[in-house]
Amino acid sequence: MTAKTPVIPSARLIEVFSAIQGEGHNVGTRQIFIRFALCDLRCHFCDSAHTWHVPKTCRIEQTPGLRDFEIYSNPVPLPILLESIKQQNLPALHDSISITGGEPLLHAAFLVEFLPQLRSVTGLPVYLETGGHRPEELAMILPHLNSVGMDFKLPSVSGESRWQEHTKFLQLCYDSQIEIFVKIIVSNKTDLADLERSANVIAEINPSIKVFLQPVTPLESTENPTQEIIVAPSPEQVLSWQELMKRTIKDVRVIPQTHKMLNQL
């Protein structure tokens, strides 16, 4: 009888790099971004359509911030990924690690193995950026996370309708006492009824959960093949929506994508 060779977990990636977080609660902080391939949603405003499928290769930055990428074949074995992140993690440079995508929770089986090792090797907090529609997969990795940023998809803006999943997802995060915030992308087509309903869902779990309204960044037509014409909201719209949400949620902030202003990856 021959002994089975242990299977080394491996990651289907788009890229790994060091950058300034441009969205939500961590805006302005320095993070190592680990961007996973695959997404099961098709948001109209998606600026990451290149993540929807697994490419043959991915790119991993060698020196933080220098964009000196090396190309690796997908999937990348866990020890190789860990080693390259160790190399990026210069003393005192990074505030946290962003697990992003695509939809990173499509890789929950890999993350269960990877995240405890990632935390112990880097000593950095782990932040999950997610569409917030896969509560079962979230439950698998919750003990290995420090914070979660959940996108709340408004049907009128994203074309996706995930009310029940979002409710379950947020409740799970809140019950686990993890740090959580909600990001809502708004365009000129935002339906007031959607905004009110999302505020009620969040407030029923806890009105202290922070909400970030993010005016959509109009896309180049090549960035998302399924996209409609996306138009940013007017300043008057954003002011009135913040006022509306503050009736139920304590902390509602408006932050556009600052990394795009910096012309940063």
- The residue ranges that bind ligand SF4 (CB under 6 A) are 39, 41-43, 46, 48, 51, 101-103, 131
Contact 49, 100 (CB under 8 A): no
Cβ neighbours of 73 (radius 10 Å): 11
- Identify which of residues 46 and 154 has a Cβ nearer to ligand SF4 in the complex: 46
- Identify which of residues 31 and 217 has a Cβ nearer to ligand SF4 in the complex: 217
- Identify which of residues 75 and 149 has a Cβ nearer to ligand SF4 in the complex: 149
- Closest contact distance (angstroms) between CB of 3 and ligand SF4 is 41
* Residue 103 DSSP SS3: coil
Q: Which residue has the tokens 């932050």?
A: 255
Q: Which of 145, 146, 166, 147 is nearest to 155 (CA)?
A: 166
- Closest contact distance (angstroms) between CB of 196 and ligand SF4 is 22
- Closest contact distance (angstroms) between CB of 210 and ligand SF4 is 20
- Closest contact distance (angstroms) between CB of 195 and ligand SF4 is 18
User: d(Cα 109, Cα 246) in Å, to the nearest integer?
Assistant: 38
User: d(Cα 182, Cα 176) in Å, to the nearest integer?
Assistant: 16
- Identify which of residues 20 and 41 has a Cβ nearer to ligand SF4 in the complex: 41
Q: Which residue has the tokens 């600026």?
A: 47
Question: What is the edge-to-edge ordering of all strands in the sheet holding 179-186?
Answer: 69-73, 57-61, 13-20, 30-36, 96-100, 126-130, 147-151, 179-186, 210-215, 252-254
- Closest contact distance (angstroms) between CB of 83 and ligand SF4 is 27
- Identify which of residues 27 and 41 has a Cβ nearer to ligand SF4 in the complex: 41
- Closest contact distance (angstroms) between CB of 144 and ligand SF4 is 21
Q: Which two tokens stand for residue 18?
A: 């060091």
Contact 218, 245 (CB under 8 A): no
- Identify which of residues 94 and 183 has a Cβ nearer to ligand SF4 in the complex: 183
